[in-house]
Amino acid sequence: MNDEVATFVGPAIEWFSVSPIVVLLGGALLLLLVGSLTPQWRRGGYGLASAVIALTAIVLLVFLWRDISSSGPKLLVGGALALDHFAVLASIAICSAVVLVSLVTSDYLASENADSPEIYALYLTAAIGGIVMAASNDLVVLFLGLETLSLSLYLLAASNRKRTQSQEAGLKYFILGGFASAFFLYGVALTYGTTGSTRLVDINLALNSYITVPRNDTLLLVGVGLMLIGFGFKVSLVPFQAWTPDVYQGSPTPVTAFMASVGKVAALVALVRVFVTAFPSRADDWGPVVLVLSALTLIVGSVVAIIQVDVKRMLAYSSISHAGFILVGLEVSSHRSSPDVGDGLIAIGVYVALYAALVVGTFSVVTVVAQNTNDGATSLDAFKGLGKRKPLLALAMTVLLLAQAGVPLTSGFVAKFGIIQAAVAIGSYGLAVIAMVCAVIAAFVYLRIMVSMWSSEAMTTEPFKVSFFSAISIAIAVVVTLVIGVLPSLLLDLTSNLPQLASK
């Protein structure tokens, strides 16, 4: 036993390549430590610190991006993590979401008189989990990231101790999330049992080896299916979406923004990587399943959104239908014989990056509006007359909502266009049409919010306050939405290497 320990050689770690994670981890610990040892910081202090930490990570990620552009994608830490454009893009989206959400949160907590460093430390920890998920090349490492992210999110959902809805949301999320993790883990176990590895790349090699190994394909497919169920819960695909509206509604709104952006981006990117890297050889088996899931998710997400009266619930369902849209890209990636199969990954990368900014911006507006009601309500009524009380805020929300609906000259259209183009290029006309029709149905929901803002009289005449940091965060989201909407080349220029996932 001792001999084994003595001869164990740890994998080489390229410290620079994992530096974003190190920065986030160090930042989180430092923030927690210093924050708890010092008296209450000035307003916005914690939020700014968290934003700066995440910004540092973004800068490092940009350096990594350029490294990959010049020297190609590679695997890190003995093949546990993948360093490629796909992972880095998702990580940048995650860290940007942390920056924006931190700013909004600091205003939100200040208005609740509850500003403290823990929330931000949890954001940073969750972001680490998200980045690990997005970059993991190993099912066990993926699970590690998943749990890091999920545990932080459970706490964040329940973080408003004054509201029972927040407690309820946390508990609900915790129980269902635990279920999902169990499903996922069982799937990992079965896959390991059949292929003898948890490394995505090695799983693929094992499934493709020329030497016929007696293997139980049923077990493998059950394993893949269980993993898909686990992911389905995390990214709220129909029929695993039931928790989403309740949790989104009950959680503090900035946390909802965080869940809808970071949580979703990380899980979707991980889902895509697992299926594209480890199981391309079984694409004919999971492709149709993904097709059905994505059609169901699109339809249920957009149709059920119509009957909601609470804006957070509406946006929860809209986030479900967005996930359906992204899944169309995964369906594209299952058509391996087509030369355009790479378009699917590009479309997914572009979509998640733009979606993150969009959804954070939208929920930031909801946060600000809720702060200005007596009871923090987010019903449609709370938005009445916003166009008269705060025209600029209403205009920003209008831009963000139009982008979510996929109206041209906004980033939402660029994202949707990429997905539809990829789907049509490989011949999935049916799914493309379903996705577009669902986008129209979903548009009805966004129009309802716009009607409330512009065409109704305000319920109260109390002064409406927009805090500084929230305004900045919303402004950034709107600028990204419009600039990428008008000049998509800025983003598309960068994405040509997205389909090259790290494999050695």
Partner 1 sequence: MISANTEVLNFPILTMLVILPVIGSIVVALLGKSRPEWMKLSALISSVTTAALSLWLLGVFKSGEAGFQFVSQHEWIRQWGISWHLGVDGISLFLVVLTGILFPLVIVGIDPHHDETSYFAWMLLLQAGVMGSFLSLDLFLFFVMFEIVLVPMYFLIAGWGYDQRIYAALKFFLYTMAGSAFMLVGIIATVVLAHRDLGVVTFDLVKIAEGANFSTTAGRWLFLSFAIAFAVKVPLFPFHTWLPDAHTQAPTGGSVILAGVLLKMGTYGFLRFGVYLFPQAAMWARPAIFTLAVIGIIYGAIAATMQRDLKRLVAYSSVAHLGFIVLGTFALSSQAVTGAVMQMVNHGVSTGALFLLVGMIYERRHTREIAELRGIQHVAPIFAGVFTVVMLSSVGLPGLNGFVGEFLILIGSFGPARWWTVVATVGVVLAALYLLWAYQRVFHGEPDEANSSFKEITIREGLLMSVFVAIIVVSGIYPKPILDRIEPSVAALISHVEGQTK
Q: Given the rule CB under 8 A, which residues bind partner 1?
A: 402, 407-409, 413, 417, 420-421, 424-425, 429, 432-433, 436-437, 439-440, 443-444, 447, 451, 454-455, 488-489, 492-493, 496
Residue 428 to residue 290: CA distance in whole angstroms:
12
CB of 237 to partner 1, least distance (A): 22
CB of 308 to partner 1, least distance (A): 16
CB of 15 to partner 1, least distance (A): 35
CB 51 within 8 A of CB 81: no
CB 112 within 8 A of CB 255: no
Given the complex with partner 1, which of 34 and 440 has the nearer CB atom?
440
- Name the token pair of 285: 């088996």
Given the complex with partner 1, which of 355 and 413 has the nearer CB atom?
413
Given the complex with partner 1, which of 21 and 393 has the nearer CB atom?
393
Residue 361 to residue 153: CA distance in whole angstroms:
19
User: Under DSSP, is residue 374 helix (H, G, I), strand (E, B) or coil?
Assistant: coil
CB of 448 to partner 1, least distance (A): 8
Q: Kindly provide the b/e burial profile for residues 43-80, where b requires at least 16 CB atoms within 10 angstroms of the residue's own CB.
A: bbbbbbbbbebbbbbbebbeebbebbeeeebbbbbebb
Compute the Cα dihedral for 378, 379, 382, 385 and give only its sign. Answer: positive
Given the complex with partner 1, which of 33 and 447 has the nearer CB atom?
447
Given the complex with partner 1, which of 199 and 448 has the nearer CB atom?
448
Residue 382 to residue 188: CA distance in whole angstroms:
45
CB of 83 to partner 1, least distance (A): 24
Given the complex with partner 1, which of 61 and 394 has the nearer CB atom?
394
CB of 357 to partner 1, least distance (A): 19
CB of 145 to partner 1, least distance (A): 31
CB of 433 to partner 1, least distance (A): 5
CB 404 within 8 A of CB 412: yes
Q: What is the DSSP string of 306-367?
A: TT--BHHHHHHHHHHHHHHHHHHHHHHHT-TTSTTTHHHHHHHHHHHHHHHHHHHHHHHHHH
Residue 330 to residue 297: CA distance in whole angstroms:
13
Given the complex with partner 1, which of 206 and 394 has the nearer CB atom?
394
Compute the Cα dihedral for 266, 270, 271, 273 and give only its sign. Answer: positive
Given the complex with partner 1, which of 203 and 350 has the nearer CB atom?
350
Eight-state DSSP code of residue 138: B
